[in-house]
Amino acid sequence: MITVADLRHATGFSYSGVFVDYLLASIAAFTHPVADRRCPKARQAIGALASIALVVTLPPASVLTGVDVLLLASCCEYSDNANNGNFQIPEKLR
């Protein structure tokens, strides 16, 4: 990637994916019941807000590229599951 793109763009693109991963992990941890929790909910909320704050500091083009890749990957996953007959709408959304 370094040979075809600016190093700042490549690094920002990579970090945007990492911060989205941290954001999703914090949101998922926030939903755990109290019995399964190792940390207070405030820690997950702070982690989610910190992830968002760090994404805002990245170059906008890098963030947009990262969002594009995530959308493309999710569309491909949806399409693959739908074509193979494996796609099922979750019970909550029916």
pLDDT in tens, 14-59: 888 888 889 989 998 888 888 888 888 889 999 999 999 998 888 8
How much is the pLDDT for 17?
A: 85
pLDDT at 68: 85
How far from 27 is each of 2, 7, 45, 55, 69, CA to CA, in Å?
A: 32, 30, 8, 16, 21
Task: Evaluate if residue 1 carries a pLDDT over 70.
Answer: no
Compute the mean pLDDT over every residue in the chain, rounded to the nearest whole number.
Answer: 80
Rounded CA separation 65/63 (Å): 5
pLDDT in tens, 55-87: 888 888 888 888 888 888 777 766 655 556 565
